[in-house]
Amino acid sequence: MKYYIIAGEASGDLHGSNLVASLRTHDKDAKIRAWGGEKMRRNGANVVKNYHELAFMGFVEVLMNLRTILKNFSFCKKDISEFNPDAIILIDYPGFNLKVAKWAHKKGYKVFYYISPQVWAWKRRRVYKIKRVVDKMLCILPFEKKFYDSYNVDCQFVGHPLLDEIAKVNPVDKNKFYKTNRLNPKKEIIAMLPGSRKQEVSRMLTVMLDVVKQFPNYQFVIACAPSLPVSYYKEIIGDKANVRLVVNRTYQLLQLSSAAMVTSGTATLETALFDVPEVVCYKANKISYIIARQLAKVRFICLVNLIMDREVVKELIQNDLTPNNVANELKSLLASSKRQKKLLEDYEELKAVLGNAGASDKAAETIIANVNKY
């Protein structure tokens, strides 16, 4: 069968790559065309549009890039029509993907949504559109299943793909990692995960760098997003701080980190699954934040806290995101054995709640089994 997959972000490329591998395992004749990145390409997808061309965040940024977005949509419709897939698989990225779903549904294509948009958090009216234009939702968070069931949307909880991804990670060779990245073997690491989009990296990293001087006995390492050039990080860093950078080594870095500053997103969950104490950082364009705050229907922005439905890790958002606030939280995490013990217990509970392994295989099997059903 033929599959057309659209992922618009780094996390979508990661989860999409595992789905591509599973589709090819369960369907030996699978032909897969995709919007994504290098990970999806390596696993056998023909990537026709790279996600780094699509990563616009916030209301203001979307408006500023509206012409590019419309051009991408036009290309997408033409490309799908020419490929004529048996199934269209959308991965998160709702602003664009829901428009694709509406168009594809009208054209009679089978539409599957893997990794739900956060309609439970805001823009809940989108659930009615999803019900009309998506044939089946494949959810990765347990509370999403309950949410969609309440609206009678055809939905299946397949488990979280990060559990499978992290299970595949080999233990890092500490000495080799330190030597390769010119790190001081006598100092513990504090990781910096500032995001994957230019706008958020610029905002978050500026604050994170101002924290460094308060921790002379630690060394700081930035996990660079593969979608951005290292030169972009170096421009922001300038002569502000003595930090190291690693590319495509985030999981190795987390294995060796004593704590982390993490921009809200999938990375907060990844950090927790590696048992790393973290402080969650988020700052958006002021207008975008004001609008989002009015629309939001949830208490938290961090995936860890959302899943657990309570504050497990500290969230420092917008005006609360200051170097001193971040530093104070890091000091508390690093100094208090009681806090560390409680946090590790919470992380274990988090893993149990996420529960099911084999998300990519379950998603692939469901898609294949349901293509001819709808």
Q: In which region does residue 83 sit, left (phi positive, over 0), alpha (psi from -120 to 50) or beta (all else)?
A: alpha
On whether both 223 and 272 belong to a single domain, the answer is yes
pLDDT band, very low/low/confident/very high, at 200 (cuts 50, 70, 90): confident
- Structurally, how many domains does the chain consist of? 2
Residues 366 and 329 in one domain: no
Question: Are 50 and 136 found together in one domain?
Answer: yes
- 182 with 312, same domain: the answer is yes
What range defines the domain where residue 96 resides? 2-159+356-370
Q: Are residues 231 and 335 in the same domain?
A: yes
Query: Are 244 and 284 found together in one domain?
Result: yes
User: What whole-number distance in Å separates Cα of residue 274 and Cα of residue 271?
Assistant: 5
The closest alpha carbon to 261, from 206, 346, 326, 319, belongs to 326
Residue 286 has pLDDT above 70, yes or no: no
180 and 250, same structural domain? yes
Give Cα 277 distance to the centre of its chain.
18
Same domain, 104 and 234: no
Comparing CA positions, the residue from 371, 42, 316, 294 lying closest to residue 34 is: 42
Cβ(193)–Cβ(263) below 8 Å: yes
Share of the chain above pLDDT 70, in %: 91
Quick one: pLDDT at residue 291?
47
CA quadruple 181, 182, 185, 187: dihedral sign: negative
Domain holding 69: CATH number?
Answer: 3.40.50.2000
- In the chain, the amino acid numbered 267 is A
The type of residue at 278 is E
Is pLDDT at 19 greater than 90 in this prediction? Answer: yes
Q: What local confidence, expressed as pLDDT, does residue 59 receive?
A: 47
Answer yes or no: is pLDDT of 289 > 70: no
**pLDDT tens track for 212-235:** 999 999 999 999 988 789 999 999
In 3D space, the residue among 146, 136, 151, 139 whose CA is nearest the CA of residue 115 turns out to be 139
pLDDT value of position 198: 86
Are residues 243 and 296 both part of a single domain?
A: yes
55 pLDDT band, cuts 50/70/90, is low
Is the model's pLDDT at 311 over the cut of 70? Answer: yes
Range of weakest confidence among 39-48, 213-222, 295-304: 295-304
Span 138-164, average pLDDT: 92
Q: pLDDT tens digit string along 312-328?
A: 999 999 889 999 999 99
Q: Which comes out higher in pLDDT, residue 241 or 23?
A: 23
- What's the pLDDT band for 296 if we cut at 50, 70, 90? low
Distance (Å, whole) CA 194 – CA 35: 24
- What is the greatest pairwise CA distance in the chain? 61
| Residue 90 DSSP SS3 | strand
Domain co-membership, 136 together with 216 = no
Give which of 277, 285, 336 is closest to 312, Cα–Cα: 277
Alpha-carbon distance 24 to 145, whole Å? 26
Could you tell me what percent of the chain has a pLDDT over 90? 70
CA-CA distance, 327 to 211, in Å (whole number)?
Answer: 6
Q: Is residue 228 within 8 Å of residue 201, measured between CB atoms?
A: yes
Measure Cα distances from 282 to 93, 140, 319, 344 in Å: 19, 23, 9, 23
Task: Compute, in degrees rounded to 10, the torsion defined by CA atoms 296, 297, 303, 307.
Answer: 180
Please give the Cα distance from 331 to 374 (Å, whole number).
54
Looking at 30-44, 48-62, 241-255, 342-356, which range is the least confident one? 48-62
How far is CA 369 from each of CA 26, 136, 205, rounded to the nearest angstrom?
Answer: 10, 12, 45
Average pLDDT of every residue of the chain: 90
Residue 250 confidence (pLDDT): 95
Mean pLDDT of 181-201: 93
Residues 203, 130 share a domain: no
Q: Are residues 98 and 239 in the same domain?
A: no
Which pLDDT band, with edges at 50, 70 and 90, does 60 fall under?
very low
